[in-house]
């Protein structure tokens, strides 16, 4: 019997994020193209002889993550236990590499990691569709963190269909000095739209074609994010970050999700390395990272008996 399981879970960027009107339940209907990148948090869940679940968080931005029952990974543990009736108390250990409140679904990744780790530790063997439904109750981006790869998300982002994607893409991430609240970015979008009729969101055919063809030039031109305008309103310094990436010859430049992380598409690994070095020197962001995608979804990295 395993005593602990470690799961690695990727961050995401949104290659397209088309946002429809505000729904009665406070969410927005979306059409989005999620893309997992090889920047991963690690979630270890261990059996623990204690009176309650406990969590510790270390790594990038750990101080900003709640280390109590409100932690999304802890909510995932309780949700799986309630759903299956299995499992004793656990010790959850989260090692963060995905920046917090950065538009890269780091919290969602930790929830997905905890679901996969507990499923393995407790032997619940929940079918993928049921695990995904449980994930959707925890947050709109959690099902994609389970799936990984590249996928179209509809509804509030939880209804997924994988996109055929042959190539590996090289991305440069520019981390901002500070975070953005996702609900505030959506609210600001509604305010910018000022009650004007908002059409139903539509998938970009050009983006899907570019992915099928594995053509970074076309992909760069087809990137789009309706949350970019409100993110720029709330965080005007990002204009400079995006402009610097464009001027340095990136194939596409976009705010990731609700921001404030910006991402840039490079031609290849060499171009990504040079973009990373130059953006780092330009003084337009807090720090820079190079990643590739698509990356696998939440997967077991280690088991300890
Ligand atoms: O689902 P999640 O808890 O991650 O969503 C956080 C917030 O983002 C929601 O409370 C809502 O304000 C906003 N949101 C939205 N429409 C979506 C997804 C998220 O308005 N499709």
**pLDDT tens digit sequence for 42-97:** 999 999 998 999 999 999 999 999 999 999 999 999 999 999 999 999 999 999 99
> In 10 A of CB 176, how many CB atoms?
24
Residue 106 neighbours by CB under 8 Å, 6+ apart: 11, 41, 61, 96, 98, 99, 100
Whether residue 129 contacts residue 92, with contact meaning beta carbons closer than 8 Å, is answered with no
**pLDDT tens digit sequence for 273-282:** 999 999 999 9
- Pocket of ligand 1 contains residue 186 by CB under 6 Å: yes
How many angstroms separate the CA atoms of 36 and 188, rounded? 26
pLDDT band at 165 (very low <50, low <70, confident <90, very high): confident
- Pocket of ligand 1 contains residue 141 by CB under 6 Å: yes
How many angstroms separate the CA atoms of 200 and 206, rounded? 18
Domains of the chain: 4-163 (3.30.230.10), 169-293 (3.30.70.890)
Distance 29 CA to ligand 1 centre (A): 10
**Is the pTM value of this prediction over 0.95?**
yes
Annotated catalytic residue within 41, 141, 177, 187: 141
Residue 121 neighbours by CB under 8 Å, 6+ apart: 2, 4, 5, 45, 46, 47, 87, 90
How many angstroms separate the CA atoms of 95 and 75, rounded? 17
Judge whether 141 counts as a catalytic residue: yes
């Amino acid at each position: 019997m395993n005593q602990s399981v470690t799961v690695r879970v990727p961050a995401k960027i949104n290659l397209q994020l088309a946002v429809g009107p505000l729904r009665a339940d406070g969410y927005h209907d979306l059409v989005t193209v999620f893309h997992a990148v090889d920047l991963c948090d690690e979630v270890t869940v261990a059996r623990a002889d204690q009176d309650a679940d406990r969590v510790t968080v270390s790594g990038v931005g750990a101080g900003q993550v709640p280390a109590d029952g409100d932690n999304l990974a802890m909510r995932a543990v309780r949700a799986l236990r309630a759903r299956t009736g299995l499992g004793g108390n656990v010790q959850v250990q989260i090692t963060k590499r995905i920046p917090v409140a950065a538009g890269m679904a780091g919290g969602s990744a930790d929830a997905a990691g905890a679901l996969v780790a507990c499923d393995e530790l407790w032997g619940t063997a929940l079918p993928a569709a049921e695990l995904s439904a449980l994930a959707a109750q925890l947050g709109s981006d959690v099902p994609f963190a389970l799936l990984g790869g590249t996928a179209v998300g509809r509804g509030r982002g939880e209804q997924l269909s994988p996109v055929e994607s042959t190539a590996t893409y090289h991305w440069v991430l520019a981390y901002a000095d500070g975070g953005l609240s996702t609900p505030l970015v959506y609210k600001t979008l509604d305010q910018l739209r000022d009650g004007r009729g908002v059409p139903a969101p539509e998938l970009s055919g050009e983006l899907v074609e570019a992915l099928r063809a594995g053509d970074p030039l076309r992909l760069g031109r087809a990137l789009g994010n309706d949350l970019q305008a409100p993110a720029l309103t709330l965080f005007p310094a990002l204009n400079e970050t995006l402009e610097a990436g464009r001027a340095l010859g990136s194939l596409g430049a976009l705010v990731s999700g609700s921001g404030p992380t910006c991402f840039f598409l490079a031609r290849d690994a060499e171009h990504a390395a040079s973009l990373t070095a130059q953006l780092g020197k330009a003084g337009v962001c807090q720090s820079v990272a190079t990643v590739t995608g698509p990356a696998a979804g939440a997967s077991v990295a280690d088991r300890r008996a």
